[in-house]
């Protein structure tokens, strides 16, 4: 349970929550509440905090998406300029290209997450999550279009039963997972512990 509290505290600090809340949760645990109850409370608080931050800062959310896209565009240009011999990350067909390709994606996307977090210091984690959600939606939209195109050509239906389809699926999906992981890691590293929310801004009272 001690480790749970440490993780929750770490998350709450980065989300800028009122740390009196963690004290309240600990107080309830000392009175016999279960670990499940504790984590349910933590997850609800995180969900409410993130959703509230996005709802209250819509323009900041748009700016976060724009910042993330612009940073990724710069990395794409650098990729094309300096790493042109490597195949595009979305179409890495060979395992030889896979590891260095994924490493570069992890590195660049961590940098993107870090940039988004550092340029939105008031709400770093929620804004990084907004960018991740936008990127995932864009990827899903892109993939749905591709799948539709393949279905029309019956390529996908034919290839499902082919040997090695799982390997190709892994090659196809891995960049997306690494992208999300990279952005989140970079975002969390870029989000230094914040001062608590306004409720805790002035210890002498408001």
Partner 1 sequence: MPKPNYLGEFELLVMLTVIRLGEGAYGVPVSREIERQTGRDVAFGTVYATLERLQKKGFVRSTLGDATPERGGRAKRYFRVTAAGLRTVRETKRSLVRLWQGLPELEGGVA
What is the contact surface with partner 1 in residues (CB under 8 A)? 5, 9, 17-28, 30, 40-41, 44-49, 52, 197-200, 203-206
Task: State the Cα–Cα distance between residues 206 and 199, nearest whole angstrom.
Answer: 8
Provide the CB-side half-sphere exposure for 7 (13 A, CA): 10
CB of 194 to partner 1, least distance (A): 14
Q: Name the strand (E) or helix (H) holding 87.
A: none
CB of 179 to partner 1, least distance (A): 29
18 vs 139, beta carbon nearer partner 1: 18
44 vs 147, beta carbon nearer partner 1: 44
Pair 75, 108: CB distance under 8 Å: yes
8 vs 178, beta carbon nearer partner 1: 8
CB of 127 to partner 1, least distance (A): 18
Task: State the Cα–Cα distance between residues 95 and 97, nearest whole angstrom.
Answer: 5
What one-character DSSP code corresponds to residue 84?
Answer: T
Q: Name the strand (E) or helix (H) holding 181.
A: helix 165-190
What one-character DSSP code corresponds to residue 13?
Answer: H
CB of 39 to partner 1, least distance (A): 12
CB of 171 to partner 1, least distance (A): 40
44 vs 62, beta carbon nearer partner 1: 44
Pair 85, 22: CB distance under 8 Å: no
25 vs 92, beta carbon nearer partner 1: 25
């Amino acid at each position: 349970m001690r480790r749970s509290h440490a993780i929750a505290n770490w998350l709450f600090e980065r989300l800028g929550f009122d740390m009196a809340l963690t004290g309240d949760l600990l107080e309830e645990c000392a009175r016999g509440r279960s670990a499940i109850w504790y984590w349910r409370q933590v997850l609800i608080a995180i969900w409410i905090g993130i959703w509230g931050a996005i709802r209250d800062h819509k323009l900041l959310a748009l700016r976060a998406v724009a910042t993330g896209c612009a940073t990724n565009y710069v990395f794409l240009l650098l990729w094309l300029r300096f790493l042109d011999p490597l195949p595009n990350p979305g179409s890495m067909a060979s395992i030889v290209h896979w590891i260095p390709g994924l490493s570069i994606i992890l590195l660049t996307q961590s940098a993107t997450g870090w940039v988004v977090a550092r340029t939105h210091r008031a709400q770093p984690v929620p804004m990084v999550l907004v960018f991740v959600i936008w990127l995932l939606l864009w990827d899903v939209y892109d993939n749905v279009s591709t799948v539709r195109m393949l279905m029309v050509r019956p390529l996908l239906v034919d290839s499902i039963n082919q040997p090695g389809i799982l390997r190709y699926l892994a090659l196809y999906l891995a960049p997306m997972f690494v992208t999300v992981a990279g952005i989140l890691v970079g975002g969390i590293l870029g989000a230094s512990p914040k001062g608590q929310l306004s409720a805790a801004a002035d210890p002498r009272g408001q």
